[in-house]
Chain A
Amino acid sequence: MGLLDKILGNDEPTKKADFSDVQSGSSSTAPAPAQTSSMGANSGRTYTVVEGDSLSKIAKHQYGDANKWHAIYEANRDKIKNPDLIHPGQVFTIPDVS
């Protein structure tokens, strides 16, 4: 079958579907859990990702410290699958950090 596919030119690997532009969201009729800790509390601020942004770049801009990108990552785990891969148009919550 492999030889037949080669002869017929059907042995090219199938192109993987690209889902990089998938957008997602959620909402609930249930209330959100109460914040119990001041660390990482929602400041109410949001930031919309633009072309060329990275989490450390946003942290540098928001906190003056690129090393605080973890705080943004943790506060937006539902939106960030890979901290090295964020997309323009994503809206991130900017938590308060001490």
Chain B
Amino acid sequence: MHRRLWLIPAFAGLLAASACSKKADTAADTAATTTAAPAVQVTSVDLGPAVGADNHVTGSTDTFQPNQTVYAAVSTDGTSPNATLTARWTYQDGQVVDSSARSIAPTGPAVTEFHVSKPSGWPKGDYKVEVMLNGASVQTKSFKVK
């Protein structure tokens, strides 16, 4: 018993350290909620056969010709030191046509374009592009190839 007396102050010390750590966490949480810039979010996804210098689509449409390149312009707002946008393109039978990701560090409104083309021509039918932000699905757009 006598030998184990040293455990008491050690245990008390651990409790105190834990309490301090909890206080620090709480302070950090408060600071984060009061000073953090708005997190990045996807505001719109537009499809078209081309994009301009600002990455916005020109001639927004949801119907494409088999020989056209399909552009998806993903508009975002907010800031992030590292956010990942993913565009996952699928055909009507569920086949994944393409999946591309791009890491961005936006400091305000931004437009990220993803595009797919098929030199031998797109099979006619229905397609979808699912846009994900940091792995979470945020928007899905459907389009047709006629």
**Interfacial residues, chain A to chain B (CB-CB below 8 A):** 16-17, 19, 21-34, 77-79, 81
Contacts and interface: CB of A to CB of B under 8 A. Distances in A.
Contacts of A29: 54-55, 110-112
Contacts of A22: 89, 97-98, 116-118
Contacts, number: 87
Given A16-B93, A17-B123, A22-B118, A28 B102 contact: yes
Q: Across chains A and B, which 8 residue pairs bring their CB atoms closest together, nearest first?
A: A30-B110, A28-B112, A30-B106, A30-B104, A33-B82, A17-B123, A33-B105, A78-B101
A17 B93 contact: yes
13 contacts: A17-B91, A17-B93, A17-B95, A17-B123, A19-B98, A21-B118, A22-B89, A24-B114, A26-B87, A27-B112, A28-B112, A30-B106, A79-B100
Contacts of B54: 29
Which of A26, A34, A78 has the largest number of chain B CB atoms within 10 A? A26
A32 B55 contact: no
Which of A22, A29, A77, A78 has the largest number of chain B CB atoms within 10 A? A29
Contacts of B9: none
Contacts of B104: 28, 30-33
B137 interface: no
A30 to B, nearest CB: 4
Given A27-B55, A29-B111, 11 more contacts: A17-B95, A17-B123, A21-B119, A22-B97, A23-B117, A24-B98, A24-B114, A27-B112, A28-B111, A33-B82, A79-B100
